[in-house]
Amino acid sequence: MAAVKPKVIVFDLDYTLWPFWVDTHVYPPFRKTSNGTIVDSLGFKVSHYPEVPEVLNDLHKQGYVLAVASRTGEVVGAKQLMELLGWKQFFSHEEIYPGGKVKHLTNIKNQFGVQFNEMIFFDDEGRNIRDVSELGVLSILVKNGVTRKVVDDALTRFSKPK
Ligand SMILES: [Mg+2]
């Protein structure tokens, strides 16, 4: 029997894919230096959690549909950073603006014509996990950024009978 797979996987940005608040701890606009390092407008190096690019690439290659849900007010900076990191290619949809994650997840659900219980959501904040869980989305609290293990465990959990 084929494993049950989510139709859409949704990731928060701040403290889920990268280790800072893009509206507070770094200073957009960002740029890539000649050696490929990404820095903010003050010249500070900006990076992501180490396993994230590989995890996103693998999920994308396996055919999973990926989306972003972020409540940041730094919409332009967040999108610019995703572009510089080369992540835009992995994500089919972005919901990036202040407000509640219920709205973000509802828009993503409608965008792809799926059900809440066909999605997985990763976020570092308990309040977001609580709100989105109540919709019926399998919501995973991420402690130290997304890793291969975090994603693999979530996919395994999703595949088990509920
Ligand atoms: Mg966050």
User: What is the Å distance from ligand 1's center to 135 Cα?
Assistant: 19
Is 140 within a domain?
A: yes
CA distance 24 to 5: 36
Q: Give the pLDDT band of residue 162 (cuts 50, 70, 90).
A: low
Is 3 within a domain?
A: no
Task: Note the pLDDT of residue 161.
Answer: 77
Structure tokens at 35: 């050696």
User: In sequence order, what are the beta bridge partners of 38?
Assistant: 32
What's the domain range around 64? 8-159
Into how many domains does the chain fold? 1
Helix, strand or coil, per DSSP, at residue 122: strand
Cis peptide bond N-terminal to 29, omega within 30:
yes
Is 155 within a domain?
A: yes
Alpha helices in the chain (DSSP H): 52-61, 75-85, 101-112, 126-133, 148-159
Which amino acid is located at 74 in the chain? E
Give the residue numbers annotated as catalytic, written as ranges. Answer: 12, 14
Is 2 within a domain?
A: no
User: What is the Å distance from ligand 1's center to 72 Cα?
Assistant: 9
Is 87 within a domain?
A: yes
Angle, helices 101-112/126-133, rounded to nearest 10 degrees: 50
Is 88 within a domain?
A: yes
Task: Tell me the per-residue pLDDT of 33-62, one tens digit each, with 9 for 90 and over.
Answer: 999 999 999 999 999 999 999 999 999 999
CA distance 86 to 83: 5
Is 1 within a domain?
A: no
Is 76 within a domain?
A: yes
Q: CATH number of the domain at 93, please.
A: 3.40.50.1000
Q: Give the pLDDT band of residue 11 (cuts 50, 70, 90).
A: very high
CA distance 41 to 10: 29
Task: Tell me the per-residue pLDDT of 75-108, one tens digit each, with 9 for 90 and over.
Answer: 999 999 999 999 999 999 999 999 999 999 999 9
Percent over 70 (pLDDT), the chain? 98
User: What is the Å distance from ligand 1's center to 43 Cα?
Assistant: 23
User: In sequence order, what are the beta bridge partners of 94?
Assistant: 68
User: What is the Å distance from ligand 1's center to 13 Cα?
Assistant: 6
Query: With 80 as the cut, is the pLDDT of residue 2 above it?
Result: no
User: What is the Å distance from ligand 1's center to 44 Cα?
Assistant: 21
Please give the average per-residue pLDDT across 145-152, as a whole number.
98
